A and B are shown apart, each in its own frame.
Chain A
Amino acid sequence: MSFLEYRLKQAPVGLRKVLYLNWPLVVLVTAVASVGFLMLYSIAGGNLDTWARPQMERFAVGIVLMFMVAMVPIWFWRNMAGVAYLVSFILLLVVEFFGEVGMGAQRWIDLGFIRLQPSEMMKFTLVMMLAAYYDWLDHRRVSRPLFVLIPVLLTVVPTILVLMQPNLGTSLLLILAGAAVMFAAGVSLWYFAAVILLGVGAVAGVFLTRGTPWQFLHDYQHARIDTFLNPGVDPLGAGYNIIQAQIALGSGGWSGKGFMQGTQSRLNFLPEKHTDFIFTTLAEEFGFIGAFSLLGLYALIIGFCLVAAFQNRDRFSALLIVGVAANFFFYIAVNLSMVMGMAPVVGVPLPLLSYGGSAMLVLLVGFGLVQSAHVHRPR
């Protein structure tokens, strides 16, 4: 669809756009983030200033950004997709060579007021880029090898950069996000089947080269996989996180130990309790009811996104929404699998809940794009 076509439709103009926002989505996002504030307050032992207040401030900034992004017409964002992708890519290169080293990995650029994680940005600029690409591409060519190779390269090259940082979690999410957009765009299922086969082969390769000079993964990454496969081997060492997380979850029971009563987190048995493992505290203090409700909220957010994608007859918008939703979903799925002992421990935060600045901001900007697509959808 062209620029002109948009103009012909009766898109809302000016502040009236606010009325056309996908308000349920805004409410749901805020609700989940509020659960996060509550948990951070509890984990800090009833201290607001430790984690909860900074997180709320960031959320406020993020929400404002979200509204700003939503106000800008979606065609502007489509036109900006290439630029945004390129900027993210350059930043990734910069961080690779000049970035601050933290937690054993080069992940961010310190801008003073914020630590910018280009890998986080890349998750959404990649989705934008791919959506724009498929918007441009004739649908009959979608499965042609050359036109499949282009998005694959667009996805894989930054993924390799992220993997080199090294950041296994984010690179995994990048691949999944790229794949989701390509899947939605209608790339032939044979490609996916082939990639899955290749993936199995690659996993075999990773394990077979282990201990040789050609080893792909870091030892700590291997250790994480080993402990995932059998956490009991080293209960006080590498398996500790997984075991303690499951104890926290399981001991929450049906209705939980009550707000601020979680012994596992309060007594420091839980690792990374305010970031990647925040879900365990929620599960411990609010039990199955609380944890399942959160899962429901997440499912609703994804559901509203997908419905918005169905309603949107603009190809770029629909693909963008699906991409953002898929991204959001993969975050949740990987994180929850991890804390529930169904996946190895890879550093993936729980979106909107985990303490951390750039992930939250980038995610809210992503939702801003969804809102923009929704507000400016062809009618």
Chain B
Amino acid sequence: MRRTASDTEETNRTLTRRTLLLGGAMAATVAVLGVRMRYLQVDQADEFKLLAEENRINIRLIPPDRGLVQDRNGRLIAANEQNYRVVITREAAGDAELVLRRLAGIIPITREELDRTVEEVNAMRAFVPVTVAERLTWDDFSKVALNAPALPGVVPEVGLSRLYPLDFDFAHVVGYVGPVSEKDLDGLAEPDPLLRIPKFQIGKIGVEKWMEDTLRGSAGTKRIEVNSAGRVMRELERREGVAGTDIRLTVDADVQNFAQARLGEESAAVVVIDVTNGDLVCIASSPSFDPNLFVRGISHTDYNALMENDHRPLANKAVSGAYPPGSTFKMVTALAALEAGVVTAETRVRCPGYIEFGGRRFHCWKRAGHGTVDMERSLTESCDVFYYDIAQRVGIDKIAEMGRKLGLGQSFDIPMSAVTEGIMPDKAWKQERHKADWRIGDTINASIGQGYVLTSPLQLAVMAARIATGKAVVPRLVRMVNDQEVTPPDATQLSISPTHLAAVRAGMNQVVNGERGTAKSSRIVDPTMVMAGKTGTSQVRNISAAEREAGVISNDDLPWDRRDHALFVGFAPVDAPRYAVAVVVEHGGGGSLAAAPIARDVILRAMSDGLPSLDAYPSSQRGRIETMLNELPLRDPLTGLTPERTKA
């Protein structure tokens, strides 16, 4: 159709007007976009910059090398070994389960481990590496590396993990490390961020636990740039951590090994202490276990075997075991009475085999009685009646005071787990603990280390050391930290009259070296190493009057766990004491037969450079001793291996 010029003018005006409107709307929109841009990029820039940084930068911790634990001469007790392991990342693996199954065809992984890993991989965020297998042999490790193309997401890694080269010997002393548990974290107000690292290992018991802060060191950090999937693109900055501090213990690995071997299959403990400075030269507890099992993750079978063993391999009997000290306690009663002035070294008591108090008869171990005994003889022959008599004269409170003075009934500050205080009972203690009055019978029982009295081998060794020196010897376990000598605690003079101590020591000398001494078969004949000591046999059951009438059953006829504990405390050399020793053999029978020989061998080993010389033994025993020493399953000094491992 034709259009007039005015029509065209009209339409063009409309068009221009509308286009202008449209253009205005567009301009307004562009302005809004510009303002928004300004808001995001200028006003909010700092916040978004921060967010972008947070997006891309992760801070990763670098675990420090754990400090080493060495024996007093620098032998490694706890070391770090290269650990070849394989980790998998789900993101890179794609189908993690498939890759893992392929991996299981290359290196030994059990069905159980495979399932656990698959579960763990799926639970973690896609880029978090999960450990599949650890402690691979070099062969398996290289197989994984060779098959890398078929194993996407699988990375072979080298890390450090804890190794205890002296395995059984120091299991109880040094303990072991294990992965951080919820329980470990609960106890800490502000846990070290290191503890959040998956599978980070911390000390669980023993020195590893109690010196954790020293051994752990502090984490290094690296700032890394990650992409949106969390993959590490590059390292931006690295700050090395501080490796854990090395510790040198006071224990002599050779003496410890000898002691462990000497204890053999017995459920027993031996502690040797250097009386001059309190150094614990040996703290053995038997049977022991291999702490490496725990680091690697102990199997149920192994763990149950340890738990079900009636000799309790996991218990550290040397510091945690609390035993009635039996006759080894007699020195305490004697010193208490001497100090109280109720007796002198010359006081004599008649032993008819029993004593009566309040209508009750208390028997001496020797039914026929010892006749008239003085203090020295009471120790030598271990007359009970003598102590019943003097104890009721001096009273329990004075005895307990003396006991504590000599180191009983208290804990010592050494970095070990479950260091027991034992029990040094007195009247107040019984009132508090049993809500009952102290009875004279309690004093009589306590006088020979029965009844309520409980002591650990460590305490008994300290007691022996204090009697030997007259000083308040304090045990210590750590000799050096970071190559700096730890100053031994100053042993103060005990407020006990030297003559009284001398009287007791004379008795202890006679116990081992006297013709009628209970431990005379365990004497040391080398004049420079002569040992003094005291045997003890402590009942773990009550002997009823009826039983006593019928004749006390010999230990050999009792089931193992009802036999008496055998104990021995001693020190040597007798004229210039250097070492004190305490031995407890659980259900070992008599102290003179079961405990004293061990004490002699171990203290001789401590005083010698190598195996004890046969010259130190009475000539009549040498043949037997030589055989015994030769058959000890000692660690080979070159290979570090033990001939046969007694038990798992």
Interface residues of A (CB under 8 A from B): 1, 138-139, 180, 183-186, 244, 246-254, 263-264, 267-269, 283-284, 287-288, 291-292, 295, 298-299, 302-303, 306, 309-310, 313, 315, 318-319, 322, 326, 329, 333, 336-337, 340, 342
Contact = CB atoms under 8 A, between A and B. Distances in A.
B42 interface: yes
B227 interface: yes
B1 A138 contact: yes
B19 A318 contact: yes
A253 B12 contact: no
Nearest to A253: B45
A263 B56 contact: yes
Nearest to B32: A342
Nearest to A138: B1
A333 B47 CA distance: 25
A263 B1 CA distance: 62
A244 B26 CA distance: 27
Contacts of A251: 45, 48-49, 51-53
A139 B7 contact: yes
Contacts of B225: 263, 267
B15 A250 contact: no
A342 B15 contact: no
Contacts of B10: 139
A291 B42 CA distance: 12
A322 B19 CA distance: 7
A180 B8 CA distance: 20
A352 to B, nearest CB: 16
A293 to B, nearest CB: 11
Interface class of chain B by DSSP: helix
Contacts of A249: 37, 40-41, 48
A192 to B, nearest CB: 11
A299 B33 CA distance: 11
Contacts of B26: 302, 326, 329, 333
B125 to A, nearest CB: 10
B18 A254 contact: no
A244 B227 CA distance: 12
A287 B49 CA distance: 12
A299 B31 CA distance: 10
Contacts of A329: 26, 29
B1 A250 contact: no
A251 B53 CA distance: 9
B151 to A, nearest CB: 24
B229 A268 contact: yes
Interface string B8-30: 10111011101101110011011
Given A184-B18, A306-B19, 12 more contacts: A249-B41, A250-B40, A250-B48, A267-B228, A269-B55, A269-B56, A288-B37, A309-B15, A315-B11, A322-B22, A333-B29, A333-B30
Contacts of A184: 15, 18-19, 22
B27 A299 contact: yes
From DSSP, what is the main secondary structure of chain A's interface residues?
Answer: helix
B485 to A, nearest CB: 53
Interface pairs A-B: 6 shortest CB-CB? A250-B48, A251-B52, A253-B45, A288-B41, A186-B14, A267-B227
Considering residues B55, B227, B229, which has the most beta carbons from chain A within 10 angstroms of its beta carbon? B55
Contacts of B18: 183-186
A285 to B, nearest CB: 12
Interface centre among A251, A267, A298, A310 (most CB of B within 10 A): A251
Contacts of B55: 244, 247, 263-264, 267, 269
Interface size, B (range): 35 or more
A183 B22 contact: yes
Interface of B: 1, 3, 7-8, 10-12, 14-16, 18-19, 21-23, 26-27, 29-30, 33-34, 36-38, 40-42, 44-49, 51-53, 55-56, 225-229, 233
B23 A288 contact: no
Contacts of B47: 250
A250 B41 contact: yes
A292 B52 contact: no
Contact of A283 (B34, B37, B229, B233): B37
Given A247-B48, A247-B55, A251-B48, A310 B16 contact: yes
Contact of B36 (A284, A299, A302, A342): A342
B15 to A, nearest CB: 6
A78 B424 CA distance: 114
Contacts of B16: 310
Contact of B19 (A250, A310, A313, A333): A310
Nearest to B10: A139
Given A295-B30, A299-B30, A340 B40 contact: yes
B49 A253 contact: yes
B32 to A, nearest CB: 8
Contact of A250 (B3, B29, B34, B49): B49
A169 to B, nearest CB: 17
B12 A313 contact: yes
Contacts of A306: 19, 22-23
B224 to A, nearest CB: 11
A287 B228 contact: no
Contacts of A340: 33, 36-37, 40
A318 B29 CA distance: 22
A109 to B, nearest CB: 33
A224 B228 CA distance: 21
B30 A288 contact: no
A343 B52 CA distance: 22
A337 B15 contact: no
Contact of A319 (B15, B29, B33, B233): B15
Nearest to A336: B33
A119 to B, nearest CB: 23
A253 B11 contact: no
B7 A250 contact: no
A289 B49 CA distance: 16
A332 to B, nearest CB: 8
B11 A263 contact: no
B191 to A, nearest CB: 27
11 contacts: A185-B14, A186-B14, A186-B15, A248-B52, A252-B45, A267-B55, A267-B56, A267-B225, A267-B233, A288-B41, A329-B29
Contact of B22 (A264, A291, A326): A326
A377 B55 CA distance: 54
Given A249-B48, A336-B33, A269 B228 contact: yes
Contacts of B37: 249, 283, 288, 291-292, 295, 340
B59 to A, nearest CB: 16
A247 B52 contact: yes
Contacts of A337: 33
A187 to B, nearest CB: 9
A226 B14 CA distance: 41
Contact of B41 (A283, A315, A333): A283
A295 B33 contact: yes
Contact of A254 (B12, B29, B30, B42): B42
B261 to A, nearest CB: 60
Nearest to B38: A288
A253 B14 CA distance: 43
B8 A269 contact: no
B45 A268 contact: no
Contacts of B7: 138-139
Contacts of A180: 22
A249 B29 CA distance: 19
B23 to A, nearest CB: 5
Nearest to B26: A329
